[in-house]
Amino acid sequence: MEKRYLGQGLEVSALGYGCMGLSFGYGPAADRGEAIALIRAAHDRGVTFFDSAEAYGPGDNEELVGEALAPVRDQVVIATKFGFVNGVPAQGLDSRPERIRQVADEALQRLRTDRIDLFYQHRVDPNVPIEDVAGTVQELIAAGKVKHFGLSEAGPEAIRRAHAVQPVAALQSEYSMFWREPEAEILPLLEELGIGFVPFAPLGKGFLTGKLASDTVFAKDDFRSTVPRFQADALAANQALVDLVSTLAAEKGCTPAQVALAWLLAQRPWIVPIPGTTKLHRLGENLGGAGVVLTGGDLSRIRDALAGIEVVGERYPASHQTLINR
């Protein structure tokens, strides 16, 4: 697979693999053996960039990723994250320096490695100056425990302040045709500072695949069951987006998911989406998105169409304040 560079010379595959859904967020955890096989299949197909977090379990996902990638550790880039009390988002934010150091040490053990390639602050903590966060990660880099510093869902001010202390290699935030907020301020800022961008939920948490109908019922342990954007009225109202990618996919001889990923890759050369899946055939489909070419005419057509589509529904419920805090 084609390679891309994030900030600070960090080279990764053009598409990464988001491992969260294997153990957290979308229902019951995947069978461990099947999950390990899936991660290894991703690597066999050219993926070198794998995304985890302490909060996905908590800890379970890092252990899974560590076991799966142990045989090829020196061939891959592993990202993980800190930032929540006890690794549990519902318990609130915690990016105190002592907590960051603790999470790093525990992650190293769970990941079966001697260094974390990319260590993100999962969400900005308003109770801890971002300079202290960056400085703590800088110390971990000096100690050889971490290679690169990242932020997730951070706003422009936090990015600038953190970057001034310890250069940020990547920002991970939600970005897709379903959520385009980063285009206004974030993408220009990242270009200015030389920071790579790692979109999570590049398929709109499944919406852009065209597989969700307005009458789709999500299981109670699927977080989408509480998200306004995934309620029946919103799913119906946002169908124009699915129609757009589906029409293009039919013309290109590919799938809607592949169009959505190709669109993201075409936005900037330093954008690396991390689609996740629990199914081998979907993994193959997603990775095929890196081979779909959208022409200038295609991109103009998509841009014009998106300008006329108003997405309905918030992306998080109000109760998930820690996930939308900047």
The set of catalytic residues is: 56
Q: DSSP for 37-68, please give it.
A: HHHHHHHHTT--EEE--TTTTTTHHHHHHHHH
CB neighbour list of residue 82: distance below 8 Å, 6 or more residues apart = 54, 95, 99, 100, 103, 104, 107, 119, 120, 121, 122
Helices (H), the chain: 32-44, 60-69, 97-110, 130-142, 156-165, 186-193, 232-237, 239-252, 256-267, 280-288, 296-307, 321-324
The Cα 242–Cα 20 span in angstroms is 24
Q: Is 264 helix (H, G, I), strand (E, B) or coil?
A: helix
Which tokens sit at 16? 């990464």
What amino acid is encoded at 241 in this protein? L
Instruction: List the one residue out of 39, 44, 102 whose CA is nearest residue 68.
Output: 39
Instruction: List the one residue out of 216, 228, 201, 234 whose CA is nearest residue 319.
Output: 228
Instruction: List the one residue out of 66, 38, 71, 73 whose CA is nearest residue 284.
Output: 38
Residue 116: which H helix or E strand, with range? strand 116-121
* Backbone CA torsion sign across 272, 118, 13, 43: negative
* CA dihedral of residues 221, 225, 228, 234 (deg, nearest 10): 150
